[in-house]
Amino acid sequence: MELNEIPHKISYRKVKYSRLEFVTGELHIVLPYGADPEAVYRRHRRWVKKKHDFIEECKKVGAKRDLVKRTAQDFKKSVHACAEKASKELNVTVKKIGFRKMRTKWASCNSSGNITINRLMKDMPGELIDYVVYHEVSHLKQMRHNDKFWGIIAKKFPHYKELEKELSIYWFNLNS
Ligand SMILES: [Zn+2]
């Protein structure tokens, strides 16, 4: 597969090393000034192909996933219920929950206890809503995605890797 067959964006920045990441299906390549994107791509070709194949699979499977039709009000209610349950279990305080449409993620959380939830989650299966909310509330124990964080998640959701994959599948379902 060649670079021009993959949706991508190249930017040059004052960085020491090149960086590649997929942001919701698009390959972002960040390069130091003067670097050759083709050469960088060739070095990471296998990684790119693996990610690209995963995304294609998610798109294919995602098109067949059913959605749960909820009202916006029911959705908000269930998010608040999940957050209340999670904050009790984890012994942390959620200050505020906001809802908005987000372009690159399902949710976010800051250290003061404010959680933002992507409105697109409205029609997702309940288990995934519960999982995303629990993830954000867990950040009040540990902000970074380190081993300690995933340990907290794994205790409650031993099958979290499966759920992460489902989230990718639903991402492409709900964003297409
Ligand atoms: Zn997180």
Tell me the pLDDT band of 13, cut-offs 50, 70 and 90: very high
Count the neighbouring beta carbons within 10 Å of the beta carbon of residue 103. Answer: 9
Q: Which CATH class is domain 72-174?
A: alpha beta
Cβ proximity of 100 and 150 under 8 Å:
no
Query: What are the beta bridge partners of residue 23?
Result: 26
pTM (2 d.p.): 0.86
Average pLDDT score over the chain: 95
Query: Distance, CA 118 to ligand 1 centroid (Å)?
Result: 13
**135 closest CA partner among 82, 96, 70, 67:** 82
d(CA 98, CA 96): 7
Residue 71 has pLDDT above 80, yes or no: yes
- Indicate where the chain has its CATH 3.30.2010.10 domain(s): 72-174
**160 CA from centroid of ligand 1 (Å):** 13
d(CA 139, ligand 1 centre) in Å:
7
